[in-house]
Amino acid sequence: MGTIYLYLKKNGKMKIILSKSKKVMLKRLIIILAIVHINLAFAMDGMPTMPNPAQIMNDSVADIIDPPNTAALN
């Protein structure tokens, strides 16, 4: 296992030193995460929306009180 060095520069910025194998592994990890993120975005786009149970209940109650094809109750 290579060592990851982390130190603070004089200007307050942090510097990370990675070995070449760690850099390659980090790049691969970033690419894999980006692909997973894109796949999940497409999967969520294709999912059907869930019906709203409160709206279904309200419609059912309205149909019981005032059935379709009848005169409105006054």
Residue 55, in any domain of the structure: no
> Greater confidence, 55 or 18?
18
Residue 40, in any domain of the structure: yes
pLDDT at 33: 92
Whether residue 25 is predicted with pLDDT greater than 80 in this model: the reply is yes
Residue 63, in any domain of the structure: no
Residue 53, in any domain of the structure: no
Give the predicted TM-score (pTM) of the model: 0.44
Residue 64, in any domain of the structure: no
Average pLDDT (24-41) is 89
The total of structural domains in the chain comes to 1
The single-letter code of the amino acid at 48 is P
Average pLDDT (23-31) is 87
DSSP tally for the chain: helices H, then strands E: 2, 2
Round to the nearest angstrom and report the end-to-end CA distance of the chain: 80
**8 Å CB contact between 2 and 13:** no
Structural domain boundaries, residue 39: 19-44
Whether residue 43 is predicted with pLDDT greater than 70 in this model: the reply is yes
